[in-house]
Structure 1
């Protein structure tokens, strides 16, 4: 048995456009952009979506959106989603990157939030 929840919506943006995209999304969503010095590829947009982290991520790829799912068992959650039709396409540190049916990316990562215990769903 393990638990998981949607943790974040990431706005993946080509590196050379990340500054402009960050300014746009912060203004469009009415929030203050906050760089994450420990993880310079991310700029947080706190308060943009209720109950979910939101950030601009600079990437070496095409623009897109992706979800981060936090879990207390990365291997079990990855296996559960693969069983539902996802395909693992990459691994970065402890995170697993999956492509869902339809082509959307999602990342499985260890628990990040303080609300995990209260909001996570339990899977068997």
Structure 2
């Protein structure tokens, strides 16, 4: 048995200026900028959201800009297996998460549990 839930909306930004991108999305969504350099490598920024809201993450990327979802799970491989059984495919393991592709062609990621407690809206899978 494992658990998962939708946890983040990720804005993939081909433009390398995450400070400007963070400012735009902060104003557009009405959420203050939490940080413009989440991991100290200049690749991730985030907006401040309440504990019961999705995280909003900005990610500097080489591919065209798009939006993708993150699903957090306490067992990454079990969640990837479950989603493959539904028709998704694994694209690759990057750093510490699985990049997946839905049958519709949309990319999404399976990431480690992002907070101490999963909180509400948790799915339990066998």
The two structures have a TM-score, normalised by structure 2, of 0.87
**2:25 aligned partner:** 25
Q: Per-residue displacement from partner, 1:17-48 (whole Å, max 9, x unpaired)?
A: 53332221111111211221445311111128
Pairwise CA distance, 1:51: 1.9
Q: Per-residue displacement from partner, 1:33-73 (whole Å, max 9, x unpaired)?
A: 12214453111111289521111111111111111111111
Query: What is the root-mean-square deviation in Å for CA atoms of aligned residues?
Result: 2.0
Structure 2, unpaired ranges of 5+ = none
**1:110 aligned partner:** 112
**1:56 aligned partner:** 58
Do residues 101 (structure 1) and 103 (structure 2) align?
Answer: yes
Change (3 A) 1:120 1:40: farther
More helix by share: 1
Structure 1, 90-99 or 11-20: larger mean CA deviation: 11-20
Structure 1, unpaired ranges of 5+ = none
Change (3 A) 1:111 1:49: closer
Count the aligned residue pairs. Answer: 124
Q: How does 1:1-124 map to 2 (within 5 A)?
A: 1-35=1-35, 36-38=38-40, 40-47=42-49, 51-116=53-118, 118-124=120-126
